[in-house]
Amino acid sequence: MSDDNGLAVYPCISEFPLSTRPRCRLQAALIMLACVQTPAFAANEEPIATDRPDFVESSDVVGNRRLQIETSIARDRTAGHGDTETLWATPTLLRFGISESVELRIESDGALHQRSSVAGHAPITERGHADVSLGMKWHAMDAVGNLPSVGVLLHADLNTGSTAFRGEGTRPTARVVAEWDLPHDLSLGIMPGIGHEKDHGGTTFAIFGLVVGKSLSDRLRGFVEVSSPHIARAAHGGTEASLSVGAAYLLQKNIQIDTAFSRGLNGRTPDSGMTVGLSIKL
């Protein structure tokens, strides 16, 4: 079943595990309500700029007194030696502009459903919700000449999730995004960063992402990306790395649908991942 304005909504209700469908129905209802109440955009207003589906964030903010909802369904899967682990999530980001250059952010992986199977044993299923992250983004600089557009993000993950998925303590991160527009409708984004967590005795880790985008039409763009959300020594959790491809399509100037697929590049990263999402600017 499909819907002209809700590619991410119907898979959520029909394909997500039964135990978490009520949360997804609420999410879907909020999205459809937002679609109905979305105001008309001025003819000269820029199209929506989202922080998904790629890992590298946009350097742009949503604008003063504007609200942007970015939500999705995501699945990660790892398999090997007869063992499998599948995690379904509903990543959602709320962005609210408090000025033309600063926005506040609330982010979470939402409702979670994890199923682990070990050869010779009955599968184990965990259900719950993820931690919430609070943050802000500052659009520090517009692109000028060969200089990039720059954004700065500060976030803090809070241990608010279900017991099975809760992190330890407050985990701050700081990231800087630089974006360049290149010839032939290409773009380049780089996002280095740093974070701190209390796991593994307490450790500071690096963050890095690089994405190359291509505008295929006025409405459609694609991208290829290499990302590492956690770079550390093995004793401190090791390094996660993945290669992703994806695309985003503008249904309207203020409504975007998207999808992305990823492959893990090492043993600490899920073997494969996929996401389907919807973003709305109000």
What's the rounded mean pLDDT across residues 252-272? 96
pLDDT of 34 reads 46
Confidence label for 48 from pLDDT (cuts 50, 70 and 90): very high
Q: Is 263:242 a contact under the CB 8 Å cutoff?
A: yes
- pLDDT score, position 68: 98
Task: Give dist(CA 112, CA 164) in Å, integer.
Answer: 10
User: What is the band of 235 on the pLDDT scale with cuts at 50, 70, 90?
Assistant: confident
For residue 62, the tally of other CB atoms under 10 A from its CB is 24
Tell me the residue ranges of DSSP E strands in the chain: 67-80, 83-89, 92-97, 102-108, 111-117, 124-129, 132-141, 149-158, 171-182, 186-197, 203-215, 220-231, 240-252, 255-264, 272-281
Q: For position 15, what pLDDT does the model report? A: 40
Q: Which residue has the higher pLDDT, 23 or 152?
A: 152
Q: What is the pTM of this model?
A: 0.83
* Tens digits of residue pLDDT in 26-37: 455 444 544 444
Q: Is the pLDDT of residue 202 over 90?
A: no
Measured distance CA(118)–CA(145) in Å, rounded: 55
What residue has token string 């943050």? 135
Residue 198 confidence (pLDDT): 87
Instruction: Look at residues 161, 192, 190 and name the one whose alpha carbon lies nearest to residue 178.
Output: 190
For the segment 186-191, the average pLDDT, to the nearest whole number, is 98
Q: What is the pLDDT of residues 105-142, one digit of tens each?
A: 999 999 999 999 887 778 899 999 999 999 999 999 99
Closest CA to 281 of 251, 239, 245, 238: 251
